């Protein structure tokens, strides 16, 4: 069995960064979207990233980004992947422009929302579709009906996200067959405040579920 991979997104403090490193996260996500309570500037992300060389991949999360925004971030710190909330056509163009793998976030409400093609993305992040009233894209701590993934043939590597925590991640993996998971609010004690204990518990639960 392939080793299950875990991304801890929305890292914005030394305690959270160190906990993710110590617990063996595969990726650390930095949110470059000012309305988010997890927002960090590229300079702050670079400061945190310098606490540990090598190790987990660094992923930058961008919402409808301009090339200038991504270029500024890449001038400040090394990112191993760009996670974007944007139209599919942007994935290929950003990959070509910056030479970084692009992960495209896909919100799911029904099976019709599941992508049938990668459309230029290197990976897909599958999560609950944001409601019309939401001020931020993404799962917003909500999970979609995982049974909708039954029979879906993923066109690219993918991560399961949205509403995951240490109590349900094992069931999520069992029901969806996910080989990678992404968590943010599920390891927080308040909006944007990561809890090192919850980070460790989530990673342990995810890895335990994968055997």
Of 142, 199, 162, nearest to 11 (Cα)?
Answer: 199
Model confidence at 158, pLDDT cuts 50, 70, 90, reads very high
Please compute the mean of the pLDDT values over residues 72-98 and round it to a whole number. Answer: 95
Q: How many helices (H) and strands (E) does the chain have?
A: 6, 10
Whether residue 138 has pLDDT greater than 70: no
Of 115, 106, 105, 109, nearest to 152 (Cα)?
Answer: 115
Please compute the mean of the pLDDT values over residues 135-140 and round it to a whole number. Answer: 54
Whether residue 207 has pLDDT greater than 50: yes
What percent of the chain lies above the pLDDT cut of 90? 85
Residue with tokens 């942007």: 90
Question: Per the structure block, which two tokens stand in for 85?
Answer: 């909330």
pLDDT in tens, 171-185: 999 999 999 999 999
Whether residue 64 has pLDDT greater than 60: yes
Distance, CA of 28 to CA of 159 (rounded, Å): 14
Distance, CA of 207 to CA of 140 (rounded, Å): 24
Question: Per the structure block, which two tokens stand in for 140?
Answer: 């917003």
List of domains in the chain: 5-209 (3.20.20.70)
**Which has the higher per-residue pLDDT, 93 or 134?**
93
Whether residue 53 has pLDDT greater than 50: yes
Instruction: Check: CB of residue 87 under 8 Å from CB of residue 53.
Output: no
Average pLDDT, the chain: 92
Angle between helices 169-176 and 196-209 (to 10 degrees): 30
Model confidence at 142, pLDDT cuts 50, 70, 90, reads confident
Whether residue 1 has pLDDT greater than 50: no
Distance, CA of 145 to CA of 209 (rounded, Å): 19
Whether residue 60 has pLDDT greater than 50: yes
* DSSP-assigned beta bridge partners for residue 31: 39, 61
Whether residue 136 has pLDDT greater than 70: no
Distance, CA of 28 to CA of 8 (rounded, Å): 5
């Amino acid at each position: 069995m392939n080793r299950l991979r875990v991304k801890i997104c929305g890292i914005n403090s030394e305690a959270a960064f160190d906990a993710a490193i110590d617990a063996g996260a595969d990726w650390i996500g930095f949110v470059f979207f000012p309305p988010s309570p997890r927002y960090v500037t590229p300079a702050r992300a670079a400061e945190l990233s310098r606490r540990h060389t090598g190790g987990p991949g660094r992923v930058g999360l961008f919402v409808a980004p301009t090339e200038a925004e991504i270029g500024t971030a890449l001038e400040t710190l090394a990112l191993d992947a760009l996670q974007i909330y944007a139209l599919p056509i942007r994935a290929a163009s950003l990959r070509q422009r910056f030479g970084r793998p692009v992960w495209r976030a896909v919100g799911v409400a029904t099976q019709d929302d599941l992508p049938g093609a990668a459309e230029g993305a290197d990976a897909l992040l599958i999560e609950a579709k944001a409601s019309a009233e939401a001020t931020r894209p993404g799962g917003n701590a909500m999970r979609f009906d995982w049974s909708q993934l039954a029979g879906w043939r993923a066109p690219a590597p993918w991560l399961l996200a949205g509403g995951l925590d240490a109590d349900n991640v094992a069931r999520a993996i069992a029901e969806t067959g996910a080989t990678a998971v992404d968590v943010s609010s599920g390891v927080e004690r308040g909006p944007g405040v990561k809890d090192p204990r919850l980070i460790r518990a989530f990673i342990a639960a995810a890895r335990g579920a994968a055997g």
